[in-house]
Structure 1
């Protein structure tokens, strides 16, 4: 091929704030075109690589997770369009811009159907290709952000600052560990009882890491059916299994460049444990039904409320996977063991929730705070937040948490009212979770057994 790009004036060249962090692969059999694109992009992108044919490009894809490919169509041997069809069929989901000097409407339609994000005709000006790149990167970013935001809507309320607040020595030690380990790429295992703030700890690790501007993707391993968890994590191709009407990216794809948080990792099925171990070791994933592995750049943070050491001894959890996950362990003590954290947390939740609900805050007197500090909090920080919220709704604190000897008449009525609110809230969350009891229990901050027992008592 003899066509070349047409330079543009510096002020005409488009700029995308996401271009600087991008990794781009240029595939063209014409050295002049490759040199032009590489020179133009190398000063604007994090990483640029080049290949003169699809065979060389395939080798580069095996080793590096590129964000975008600029692909020439007419090349010696296989055409770019043929290779693009194979890429999509093998589970490659990144953006591809097809460039060519010989194009008609039929070729353009075939390119878009094959999965090209854009189609650029040679010769082109610098700002034309840069605009195409910017559009592709922005579209991919928006797709990932929308996915992450949709998942965040299902997350428990309350920010990291709230859950990590406290004055106890153990909470101070956790904050110090987060500051030390967060900037490193090390895999972290967060342990502790349900409701102690394991996801918030993972978010805090992400927030102080170099990946802070990239996605944080949480997944509850216990809330996904064993038969579909591989597809959820790694993605799948169309027709890979019954019901796979179209190809789909996995959670590793959406977490690319960021952090994937595997909550309740001890609930992973044995077969999935083996596959996760391979991903950690090879830094590649294979979508269900795909023939090739795809490089990934994801930091893993795992969490569990189970004793993984006991599970390893019982043969329910792989020992080698446990060692790969437990490079650094952050243990979160139950709230009953850090009473000094109760008052700061209660004040924060009271201020946040009273503003959210549009009601006047209740008075957190020394007596109330003392009673809250003495309460054992089986549901930990999550339960404390729920108690504050229910108290604001009902206008008083529950007597089983904050006794009041001067309110004998209310003692009998209040638990009944509280039970009614609890029932309505649990059924509402269950409905929002589509009837999935495991997911509803996660959102409520209770165990699945507790939810089952409540529903049975209500004839649910």
Structure 2
């Protein structure tokens, strides 16, 4: 049996045997197949060579003068076992050879052997090493392409990752749809990472900025453009030059601002507030919403032309309740991350806890899952016990009357959450998964009704 010379031609080999005839036989036979071949008669000679040279493969006899090959292998730290190792052994040393394999040796070959048998053993080891390296490179490539936050093993998540990879290189606008807490910003970041764009990823929550300030926030302003404008401001479009501007909660944008945004997208230029001339911009737009923008268009709350301009490609992020297969991986990720951040000992969830989490509806989606894990870690209370306690409270409180419409139920629920947060609307907004500005607007609408 012969192998292509290129299979081993870039690798180095060390042969360790106290028999001169064996060293000569293997050294001459394998010299043309490896880039470098060295020989040693003992462990001490081998260590001297290893201290100044790197070897991809070591072929060593188990029985050596002084320290045996096994004793040598056992003395090495895991970090020192970078070379593949094939032991040569007689039938009487089979137990030692098996012990060597358990310690991490790559293979062994029984004496006496011919060259073809040695070539086959070497080929097996090198082929395995090449496969391990290819797998490592593949994992590295995947980790570069997909941020670790895009976690999950479900078919739905896999399909989303494929769509992200497919549309990311395009400069086209992308609309990311999904309920609050599903991870829409993570999708936007993944699109940016895969886009190859040299600029920054700039997120902005359109619902968290006062309408009268949004234009200045996005387009910038010149000095003296309005009262208090003591110096000019660049604006987030310019900050995101040659990068990605992520417009979160795009459905919250006022109609007047929607018109200005549409013009900026079509002209690929912006006019800072108070400026006379437009400035060219090269920005990729990714927008996100938890609303149904088609319904918003029909209701007259969102411009149809802007909707179609943003809706070149739509990525839908499924709610967590529709992909329970992702929950074990998410639980593991958040647990490791939070225990590290809080300096806590690693925690293992029981099967019952994970099953309970997979059966939960998750109205707050991934954000709710993370908060639950953090609360469980801090309080030392498993999720199943916490939900049992909550179920007891709900049983006492009772549900909402059947004759109530959805708007009345929503108001009652929001008021209940705010009361539970002792009137802290910021905390209530985080619990509900909405912007504080949205909560303020709701209360203002109820006061004026």
- 1:192/1:297 Cα in 2 relative to 1: closer, same or farther (>3 Å)? same
1:367 aligns with 2:352: yes
1:309 to 277, 294, 311: 294
| SS in structure 2 of the partner of residue 329 of structure 1 | strand
- 1:221/1:240 Cα in 2 relative to 1: closer, same or farther (>3 Å)? same
Kept in 2, the 8 Å contact 1:262–1:301? The answer is yes
Kept in 1, the 8 Å contact 2:364–2:432? The answer is no
Kept in 1, the 8 Å contact 2:251–2:291? The answer is yes
The 5 Å alignment of 1:28-43 reads none
**TM-score computed with the length of structure 1 as normaliser:** 0.55
Kept in 2, the 8 Å contact 1:162–1:345? The answer is no
**TM-score computed with the length of structure 2 as normaliser:** 0.56
TM-align CA RMSD = 3.4
1:348 to 333, 352, 355: 333
Kept in 1, the 8 Å contact 2:207–2:437? The answer is no
Alpha-carbon distance in structure 2 between the residues aligned to 1:449 and 1:258: 27
Which position in structure 1 is the counterpart of 2:110? none
Alpha-carbon distance in structure 2 between the residues aligned to 1:181 and 1:346: 29
Greater Cα shift, 217-226 or 178-187: 178-187
Kept in 2, the 8 Å contact 1:166–1:345? The answer is yes
Alpha-carbon distance in structure 1 between the residues aligned to 2:168 and 2:214: 27
Kept in 2, the 8 Å contact 1:215–1:255? The answer is yes
Quick check: which has more Rg, 1 or 2?
2
5+ residue gaps, structure 1, are 1-159, 413-421, 431-436, 456-460
The 5 Å alignment of 1:271-310 reads 271-310=256-295
Instruction: Give per-residue Cα distances to partners, 1:278-329, cap 9 Å, x unaligned.
Output: 1110000000000000000100000000010001011111101000000000
Which position in structure 1 is the counterpart of 2:233? 248
Q: Please report how far the alpha carbon of residue 181 of structure 1 lies from its aligned counterpart in structure 2 after TM superposition.
A: 0.6
Which position in structure 1 is the counterpart of 2:179? 193
Equivalent residues, number: 276
Alpha-carbon distance in structure 2 between the residues aligned to 1:441 and 1:335: 20
Alpha-carbon distance in structure 2 between the residues aligned to 1:288 and 1:254: 16
1:172 aligns with 2:154: no
Q: Please report how far the alpha carbon of residue 398 of structure 1 lies from its aligned counterpart in structure 2 after TM superposition.
A: 3.8
| SS in structure 2 of the partner of residue 303 of structure 1 | strand
Alpha-carbon distance in structure 1 between the residues aligned to 2:339 and 2:154: 25
Q: Which has the higher contact order (CA 8 A, sep 6+)?
A: 1
Greater Cα shift, 161-170 or 289-298: 161-170
The 5 Å alignment of 1:79-98 reads none
- 1:299/1:443 Cα in 2 relative to 1: closer, same or farther (>3 Å)? farther
Alpha-carbon distance in structure 2 between the residues aligned to 1:183 and 1:451: 37
The 5 Å alignment of 1:52-71 reads none
| SS in structure 2 of the partner of residue 228 of structure 1 | helix
| SS in structure 2 of the partner of residue 223 of structure 1 | coil
Alpha-carbon distance in structure 1 between the residues aligned to 2:363 and 2:438: 12
5+ residue gaps, structure 2, are 1-145, 397-416, 444-449
Alpha-carbon distance in structure 1 between the residues aligned to 2:272 and 2:440: 34
- 1:384/1:439 Cα in 2 relative to 1: closer, same or farther (>3 Å)? closer
- 1:308/1:450 Cα in 2 relative to 1: closer, same or farther (>3 Å)? closer
Instruction: Give per-residue Cα distances to partners, 1:324-362, cap 9 Å, x unaligned.
Output: 000000001100111101111001100110111011233
